[in-house]
Amino acid sequence: MAALAWLLIPFAAAVGAAVWSVWAARRPSGAGDAEGVAGYEAFRAAMERPQGLPDARAHRREGAAEPRPAITPAAD
DSSP state of 73: P
For the whole prediction, is pTM greater than 0.75?
no
| Cα 23 from chain centroid (whole Å) | 26
Burial of 5 (0-12, 13-18, 19+ CB in 10 A): exposed
- Each residue's pLDDT tens digit, 12-36: 999 999 999 999 998 776 666 788 8
CA distance 54 to 66: 15
The answer to whether 27 touches 19, Cβ cutoff 8 Å, is: no
| Residue 14 confidence (pLDDT) | 97
- Each residue's pLDDT tens digit, 20-76: 999 999 877 666 678 888 999 999 999 998 876 555 555 555 555 566 666 777 665
**How big is the chain, counted in residues?**
76
Residue type, 20: W
